[in-house]
Structure 1
Amino acid sequence: MQQKKNKPIMILGCTSDAGKSLLVTAICRLLANRGVKVAPFKAQNMSNNAAITTQGLEMGRAQYLQAIAAKIVPNIKMNPILLKPSADTFSQVIVNGKVNDEIAQLPWLARKPFLWPEVTKALDSLQNEYEQIVIEGAGSPAEINLRESDIVNMAVALHCNADVYLVSDIDRGGSFAHLLGTWACLSKSEQKLIKGFVLNKFRGDPALLDSAMAWLEEKTGIPTVANIPYYRHQLAEEDSFRLGCKYQKGMLNIALIYYPYASNLDEFDPLLYQHNINLVPVHQNGDLSLFDALILPGSKNSGASLQALRATGLDQNIIQFKKTGKIILGICGGLQILGESILDPLFLEKGSQQGLGLIALKTTLEKDKITQQRQFNYAGEILMGYEIHHGKTYAGAQVKTFIDKSIGWSEDNIYGTYLHGLFEQRCFYNWFMRQIGGLENGLNWAAHTELELDKLADMFEQHGWL
């Protein structure tokens, strides 16, 4: 018997960071909990937070989490196009999980003939496999200058005749103007697809909105179907990262070096949400000696990140920190920066340059990108993570193996690895805490995420429209 197919649900936003990703995640988990065979979809994502599938293919971290919310295995069909910014005016283009240098060299408006067939192929395939597709747009559909090249917003909605819900972040202010203005920028055929407006991140008395919602419906003929409260959660964010934290006396303070093109910062969530730990993003010159540990995260452009450290003077702050004897951990690009040199013969990033020289490692950037999930036996437990990098790193004779000889190295108080997702593994989290005198209270992060997803779905069931 053929499965009943429902019209796709599509979440569009008046602005970036309106909460589209979280709402799609909530809907996927809510429907999955109801027994619906559901899958997420986003035609094109722009983010340096990426995930690696079991097939070794690269996709947006948000869609990866949405697939987990839907209780299915993440697949690159759920995000066929991923853009990873590596310079102010350039992004690496990932098509169906693999780097595509040819399309990356094309002007923006010339890409659609090559990318749109991949979008429709992936979406059509998902529609054949699942009862319900929940689609996320990107930015705003009212960007008039981008309509001709659109492959992610109304072009997708029209292709699959989706039921579209337009979301505004009311916490920013101006929501009703945003909703009305965005709706007015759409064509008549596009306006017909809008089934409801959604107010997101609301704090206050909902009764204050009644007259405004009636006014908006009078202008557009479209009802406001939901008022979603400001909701605090511990799920991975697609792009944003908490920058306002400062050193706090009496807590375990960990400095996270926040350079340009820092990537996959969601892997530090297990530190970020621990009540006894203060994770402090550092992006300006200053004394680091009071911190209990230092972390250099991944980077989409290690060369540019290294240059930024030198421009701010943070390079010398990090070098001075080594003298304290406290642990410095570099992950992926951070590992490369800590080493003696980054050789870039193909000029993939900023050309060859000297690293910080804190560990005897030399890295050569190569064209082929390594993307794979990995698993190791570590301290008697299974340690899982993923690799996503261009470089190959070679260690000097004095350098020791860290985790595994193929993935990480250490020298004195400097540790570096290509393995992402370490702090999500309880065994590694507890090892790190032992090094810095913290509590060995690491969580099963996968189980924690499942609980967070169910709580999110419960919130949406109470305040949403489904």
Structure 2
Amino acid sequence: MSHALTLMVQGTTSDAGKSTLVAGLARALRRRGLRVAPFKPQNMALNSAVTADGGEIGRAQALQALAAGVAPHTDFNPVLLKPSSDVGAQVIIHGRAVANLSARDYHAYKPTAMAAVMQSWHRLAGAYDAVLVEGAGSPAEINLRDRDIANMGFAEAADVPVVLVADIDRGGVFAHLVGTLELLSPSEQARVRGFVINRFRGDLGLLRPGLDWLEARTGRPVFGVLPYLHGLFLDAEDAVADTAADVAAAEGALRVVAPVFPRISNHTDLDALRLHPAVDFRWVGPGQEIPPADLVVLPGSKSVQADLAWLRAQGWEAAIRRHLRYGGKLIGICGGFQMLGREVADPHGVEGAPGSTAGLGLLDMRTVLEREKRLDNVRGHLTLEGEPGVAGYEIHMGVSSGPATEEAPAAVLQCADGGVRTDGARSADDQILGTYVHGLFDAPAALAALLAWAGGQAAAPVDLAARREADLDRLADAVEAHVDLHALFGGRLRP
């Protein structure tokens, strides 16, 4: 067993609070002077981030790295699965796409993936004071137990202790915890140290009899009960975030809408809009009416051609053309940018069968999907008035070119060799802007300039980075106040 302080957080369900607890623990241990690494052996998510070593990992692990005060690294998430359909996914190993596999083929591939997981684990355990491991889904998913690398399969191989976290807000918390424990093998049960209950609101005294029963029934302690933290803003791992952290829009706010593609990717790009008091932001899901808006944003997509077909089927193409006729503004980011051109060609079958799809034809350009993915952290400036600075990242397999990108780019970006290159495009009538830069709205100056371009009213700037840091501190405060960290780490954590 490693000398590093280790703990694996597993959940009774998806969205039980695993990512949140790991982030809070990472910040709490960092405050104690420990060098902490987050680690998720296998992640399935369409929200990803570019690492310092030029690879791709789940966005939740990048957030946890921020909480720990370390640069994101591909070892933090050695296996990332990006679903491209209901039965298949792009497989990313140590930050690089290696294959597109069906669920059945990936099951056969798991021993190879597990080898990559253990390589990363050993590197981290030897380089950091503490490694906080996050499971995926639930360890009690019986159909996934064979060759498991995400939960107890990893915990057994690496010999790490486990804490189970459950979300009391969704109900059935005691059944979740007891049932999950009962479905584990004896050796797996033995490594479960105890429990943490997440998102509790109410009188803790009324919960106490249930906690006493749980401890007596299982022989394991409840290390803590975390309160429901209203308005907590943390980057979503995958699912489109609910409105819990949204800010109520002021009267006369800029109306912004965005479609929820079936394979929406990196939708965290729009978090700054959701949080802005001068923006009335709405996600529009399948079958929902498309409301009038001042600004339409087409977000990223893992399957551009399929999501473009969905967009048309939902009536968005006609709605966008009507929106533009009435003077509205339109922004496309990454996959959404590709949709704005004349054609999206996939000669190598990157997203499915080789072929091409007609784009919306709003920008004079053509996109060709290539085999190699572009991964890059970028910074530069937008070509809007005042040339506001922008910083973000690129994750895409397409190259877009044509008069639109050559004559009126959306941004000028710095290159690693000290030169510059252009990115994206703006329409001749200046109603449309497209870019490959994820994080387009994150920098306060860029956000203000884009809102002004879209016709928004002046408002106090929203600093997404500062908000994220403040909420990580708030989360860590709650963890330290409500969780017995000394007991949680088996007595190995110094005060």
Which TM class, normalised by the smaller chain length?
A: over 0.9
Query: Secondary structure of 1:270's match?
Result: helix
Equivalent residue number for residue 275 of structure 1: 277
Question: 1:135 matched to which residue of 2?
Answer: 133
Match for 2:393 among 356, 373, 386? 386
Q: TM-score, normalised by structure 1?
A: 0.94
Corresponding residue for residue 63 of structure 2: 65
The structure 1 residue matched to 2:426, chosen from 383, 389, 410, is: 410
* Residue 242 (structure 1) shift: 4.0
Looking at structure 1, the residues matched to 278 and 114 of structure 2 have their Cα atoms a distance apart, in angstroms, of: 48
Does the aligned pair in 2 maintain the 1:5–1:130 contact within 8 Å? no
Q: Percent identity?
A: 40
Q: d(CA) in 2 for partners of 1:315 and 1:243? A: 26
Query: 1:101 is paired with a residue of what secondary structure?
Result: strand
Match of 2:366 in 1: 362
Residue of 452, 460, 469 corresponding to 1:434? 452
Map 1:206-285 onto structure 2 (within 5 A).
206-232=204-230, 233-242=232-241, 250-284=252-286
1:319-343 per-residue CA deviation (whole Å, 9 max, x = no partner) reads 2111122210000000111111111
Instruction: Provide the secondary structure at the position in 2 that maps to 1:424.
Output: coil
Q: Distance in 1 between matches of 2:359 and 2:164?
A: 47
Please name the residue that 2:89 is paired with: 91
- Local SS of the residue matching 1:87: coil
State the number of aligned residues: 463
Question: Is 1:421 equivalent to 2:403 in the alignment?
Answer: no
SS at match of 2:393: strand
| Equivalent in the alignment of 1:375 | 379
- Tell me the equivalent position of 2:78: 80
C-alpha contact 1:243 1:281 (8 A) present in aligned 2: no
Structure 1: runs of 5 or more not aligned? none
Q: CA deviation at 1:56?
A: 2.1
8 Å Cα contact 1:286/1:314 also seen in 2: no
Q: Which residue of 2 aligns with 1:181?
A: 179
CA distance in 1, matches of 2:359, 2:407: 16
In structure 2, relative to structure 1, the CA distance for the partners of 1:308 and 1:118 (3 Å cut) is: same
- 2:464 maps to what in 1? 445
Alignment partners' CA distance in 2, 1:153 and 1:319:
47
Q: CA deviation at 1:383?
A: 2.1
Instruction: Note the C-alpha offset of 1:260.
Output: 1.2
- The secondary structure found in structure 1 opposite 2:461 is coil
| Deviates further, 225-234 or 446-455 | 446-455
Q: Give the TM-score of the pair, scaled to structure 2.
A: 0.89
Distance apart, 1:444 and its partner CA: 3.4
- RMSD over aligned CA atoms reads 2.1
Q: Match of 2:491?
A: none
Greater Cα offset, 399-408 or 20-29: 399-408
CA distance 1:170–1:74, change in 2 (3 Å): same
Unpaired runs of at least 5, structure 2: 413-420, 486-495
State how far apart, in whole Å, the 2-side matches of 1:323 and 1:248 are. Answer: 26
Post-superposition shift, 1:167?
Answer: 0.8
- Structure 2: distance between partners of 1:58 and 1:461: 31
What is the rounded CA distance, in whole Å, between the counterparts of 2:287 and 2:133 in structure 1?
42
Relative distance call for 1:414 and 1:380 in structure 2 (3 A) is: closer
What corresponds to 2:475 in structure 1? Answer: 456
Of 383-392 and 403-412, more deviation after overlay is shown by: 403-412
The equivalent position to 2:316 in structure 1, one of 303, 314, 325, is: 314
Q: Per-residue deviation at 1:24? A: 0.3
SS in 2 for 1:198: strand
Q: Is the 8 A contact 1:319 1:356 kept in 2?
A: no
Task: Measure the CA separation in 2 of the matches of 1:307 and 1:102.
Answer: 21
Once the 2 structures are TM-superposed, how far is the Cα of residue 248 of structure 1 from its aligned partner?
A: 9.2
1:13–1:141 contact (8 Å) kept in structure 2: yes
Measure the CA separation in 1 of the matches of 2:290 and 2:387.
34
1:329 counterpart residue number: 331
- In structure 2, the residue corresponding to 1:149 is in which secondary structure? coil
For 1:258 and 1:438, locate their aligned partners in 2 and report how far apart those are by CA, in whole Å.
Answer: 26
- Who is 2:357 aligned against? 353
Which stretch of structure 1 is more off in the superposition, 450-459 or 378-387? 378-387
Deviates more, 1:213-222 or 1:27-36: 213-222
